[in-house]
Homo-oligomer: A and B are copies of this chain.
Amino acid sequence: MYSFTTKVRVRYNETDRMGYLHHGVYPAYFEIGRTEMLRSLGMSYREMEDDGIVLPVSNLNIQYISPAYYDDVLIINTIIKQKPTVRLVFEYEVTNDSGKLVCQGETTLVFVNAITRKPTRAPQSFMERMEQYFKN
């Protein structure tokens, strides 16, 4: 298991007329969570793309627990529980700065060759860095 925490401040344009952070913004926040998690492992998602591998999302699930508001600082905890294969599953817990749970989510991503657009194996360097977190 590997987990990593990032903070995001809710922007004005991300709110809606209900006064809430719009529910459709969370997928972008999850994307920030996993980008920063990869960076914490010494990996850059941008470089992975430049090396010819893209990671489209194949599944997304969100449970909205309590609303977030303009200017809130949200804490995004991103977790990998299962050793990655051709698929990579991230879980997310978003809390506000009072510690209240805002939402929980999960995304499944697939390693894809940027040219052929076919599923491919995870880069060797990625698997090596992951290895230590999934020893028995």
State the oligomeric state as a number of copies.
4
**B54/A58 in contact, CB under 8 A:** no
Within 8 A of B (CB), among A50-67: 54, 56-64, 67
**A71/B44 in contact, CB under 8 A:** yes
* Min CB–CB distance A8 → chain B (angstroms): 10
**B56/A70 in contact, CB under 8 A:** no
- Which A residues have a C-beta under 8 Å from some C-beta of B? 11-13, 15-20, 22-25, 27-28, 31-32, 35, 44-46, 49, 54, 56-64, 67, 69-71, 114
**B64/A59 in contact, CB under 8 A:** yes
A28 to B64, CA, bound (A): 16
- B contact residues around A22 at 8 Å (CB): 12-13
